[in-house]
Structure 1
Amino acid sequence: MRITDDLYGTFELEPILVKLIESNPIQRLKGIHQGGASYLVNEKWNETRYDHSIGVMLLIRKMGGSLEEQVAGLLHDVSHTAFSHVVDLVFKNEEQSYHEEIFKRVVTESEIPAILSANSISLVKLFDDANWSILEQPAPDLCADRIDSTLRDMYRYGQITLDEVEYFLGHLVLHEGTLHLNHLGAAEWFSETYYKEVIDFFMDPLNVYGYDRLSKLLTYALAEGYLTPPDLLMEDEQVLQKLRALSDPQISKYLSELTPPIYIEENKNEATIHLKTKVRLIDPMVIEGECISRASERSTRVEQMNAKAQQRALEGMSIKVLAPSTQKNPVHE
């Protein structure tokens, strides 16, 4: 299979990658939206876990990662539930790690083990993140997962250009098994882009509103027995179709509240919704000559961005829901 990605280019894939891409767990990700509730409140926010998973695999490949690590990158999100991290709000999972907690079970109960076994790839090794230093690193370091989600969303939503992506990738290097940048300017650019994603996008009032309303809908549906946890491993629209078929007035109310036009405003004094997000900081390692350091140690700009992002995350976002008659133009038509 030859595959072309807007960000990383064209690649020829080995048969095992093709079989995994064609498997049900990966194909399901075409129906799982990266931004959770975002596509419901703004149809343009429609990036999927499938595109991201392919992207992570290709970025690992581009950086010289092994075939095994490419497999791990392709599979890393197969256990994401419908609506991605919205479910973490439902289950009050503050670390936003519900998909990680069920990863082993979801993989084991699928056709993935048979595909891996037929290609002599260890299932036990797959489950140990310590084996995949390009794919995953704790914040604030760079890793393929963190990089692709940032670049892909911000490129798709018009916040960065392809030329900027190519500039960044041109300065991305592998040093002793982990991702570094070889230019401080690239580290400053990525830090700014990353905070456009985790602060400006995920804390956009419309996104916060969507997460709040959808999490309330799913919580109610689970409590009433309309949904069970296994149902959350369906695609986003399959879950919604199941809920739309119900005659419960409360379900109908929640669904209508997720349908544009939506009238809200940021309002700290009269908030009806307040959401704090997990603090996600980035501080890339920069290698220039014999000097290796964090970007913030050499860039006041990165240091200031980190401090501002941490403060914004700790403060959270306060939203007031408005009656349609009180605002001429909705947040989204």
Structure 2
Amino acid sequence: MEDYLKIFIDREYPSFIDKYLNTSTLSRLKNVTQFCGCDYTKLYHPLFLYTRYDHSLVVAHMTWHFTHDKKETIAALLHDVGTPCFAHCIDYVFGDYLNQETSEASIADIVKKDKELVSYLIEDGICLEELEQLELYPILENKSPQLCTDRLDGVLHTCYIWLHTHSLEEIKEVYDHLVVLENEQGNKEIGLDDVVVAEKFVAMIFTYAKELQGNTDKYVMNYISEIVKLAVQKGLISLEDLYVKTEEEIIRVFQEFFLSWNNFKNAECLVRTNQKPEGFYVSLDVKKRNVIPLIKVNQEVKRIVEVSSFAEEIYFELKNYHDTDFAYVRKIKICN
């Protein structure tokens, strides 16, 4: 984690964030994994544990690097405090496969319960309401397929930590060529200043977006969502527990009461098929995550697809990508 994090730390260190790091609100995120339950099965092999806390810290440092704006950097540090255990798996619990926004609790509602954190915000002149007005912070958050720091870390940590398809050196090369540009709407947006490096970033985006459309990720998230629903129905946990307990505490419940959990934990192979199988399987349309970055060429700012045939082909392939209709793990016939 340290080698990954230090890529993004600006020479002018934002020391004002340090006092926030040990608050109970941010400390809770150390027990929420970033990859939505994928750490708990052998279907994936992340290089190391990467949590929502780690992601929040990286995004804060990225945001400071591109803005040197104190308020936007603190908003970045706190942008995921409403995330429940298993993150977007809980959107599946509510049937929100396409938007994946249902499960996050209000940032203001979470923060106002933490007196220490509130005192720091007052000290830094930040109102609770401003933390939820993400349209105020275009470098931190914007709409896909635009690039923002939240989405940027999503691409980079997928390629390095989660899927290990790219090296730290490749991550750093891309990051060193990112600049703040003005997009079609006249808003600030992160883009690149070199076409060759931009094409390398497009290849990373393809890895990221394709994996999140693939059946392995969908299976993991759907399985965990079904186990969570059953645990709630049986009164073993409450939905509130997802926002206050650790993932380890909840997994202990799964291990004790659900026979399929060990099969999920030890699963190494997902069976893909276009024929509907018996038992528990995944067959879902989910949120399409994508980035089409800006590129500055000869003093003009365009989208990479306007200047690169390579990028155009990649996005065409991504648009037409579809995994098999069904997927399942042989040993998991039912979630029980």
**So what's the TM-score if we normalise by structure 2?**
0.85
The answer as to 2:226 corresponding to 1:216 is yes
Note if contact 2:9-2:62 (Cα within 8 Å) is conserved in structure 1.
no
Q: 1:90-138 CA deviation, whole Å, 9 max, x = no partner?
A: 1112310124453332222223322201222222222211111110111
The answer as to 2:307 corresponding to 1:301 is no
Distance 1:243 1:96 in 2: 23
Note if contact 2:178-2:192 (Cα within 8 Å) is conserved in structure 1.
yes
Amino acid at match of 1:174: V
From 181, 185, 195, give the equivalent of 2:196: 185
Matched position secondary structure for 2:180: strand
Gaps of 5+ in 1: 246-250, 325-333
Deviation (angstroms), 1:89: 0.4
Distance 1:207 1:122 in 2: 37
Matched position secondary structure for 1:134: coil
Match of 2:89 in 1: 86
Shift in alpha-carbon separation, 1:159–1:252, aligned structure 2, 3 A: same
Note if contact 1:36-1:211 (Cα within 8 Å) is conserved in structure 2.
yes
Match of 1:67 in 2: 70
Shift in alpha-carbon separation, 1:44–1:189, aligned structure 2, 3 A: same
Matched position secondary structure for 1:309: helix
Amino acid at match of 1:126: L
The answer as to 2:318 corresponding to 1:318 is no
The answer as to 2:284 corresponding to 1:275 is yes
Shift in alpha-carbon separation, 1:26–1:13, aligned structure 2, 3 A: farther
Deviation (angstroms), 1:195: 2.1
Deviation (angstroms), 1:318: 2.4
Match of 1:98 in 2: 102
Identity of aligned residues (%): 22
Q: Aligned ranges for residues 1-333 of structure 1 at < 5 Å? A: 5-9=5-9, 13-14=13-14, 16-42=16-42, 44-45=45-46, 46-93=49-96, 94-100=98-104, 102-111=106-115, 112-156=117-161, 157-176=163-182, 177-200=188-211, 202-233=212-243, 234-245=245-256, 251-271=257-277, 272-312=281-321, 318-323=326-331
Note if contact 1:53-1:73 (Cα within 8 Å) is conserved in structure 2.
yes
Note if contact 2:255-2:262 (Cα within 8 Å) is conserved in structure 1.
no
Distance 1:133 1:296 in 2: 22
Distance 1:307 1:4 in 2: 31
Note if contact 2:107-2:131 (Cα within 8 Å) is conserved in structure 1.
no
Deviation (angstroms), 1:296: 1.0
Shift in alpha-carbon separation, 1:3–1:74, aligned structure 2, 3 A: farther
Q: Output the aligned Cα RMSD.
A: 2.5
Shift in alpha-carbon separation, 1:73–1:317, aligned structure 2, 3 A: farther
Note if contact 1:270-1:320 (Cα within 8 Å) is conserved in structure 2.
no
Amino acid at match of 2:207: K
Amino acid at match of 2:8: Y
Amino acid at match of 2:5: D
Note if contact 2:84-2:103 (Cα within 8 Å) is conserved in structure 1.
yes
Matched position secondary structure for 1:212: helix
Distance 2:9 2:131 in 1: 26
**So what's the TM-score if we normalise by structure 1?**
0.86
Deviation (angstroms), 1:77: 0.8
Which range moved further: 149-158 or 26-35? 149-158
Distance 2:160 2:152 in 1: 12
Distance 1:289 1:10 in 2: 27
Q: 1:28-77 CA deviation, whole Å, 9 max, x = no partner?
A: 11111111120111373332111111100111122233011110111111
Match of 1:330 in 2: none
Distance 1:15 1:187 in 2: 31
Note if contact 1:20-1:26 (Cα within 8 Å) is conserved in structure 2.
yes
Gaps of 5+ in 2: 183-187
Deviating runs (4+, > 6 A) in structure 1?
Answer: none
Note if contact 1:47-1:153 (Cα within 8 Å) is conserved in structure 2.
no
Shift in alpha-carbon separation, 1:14–1:142, aligned structure 2, 3 A: closer
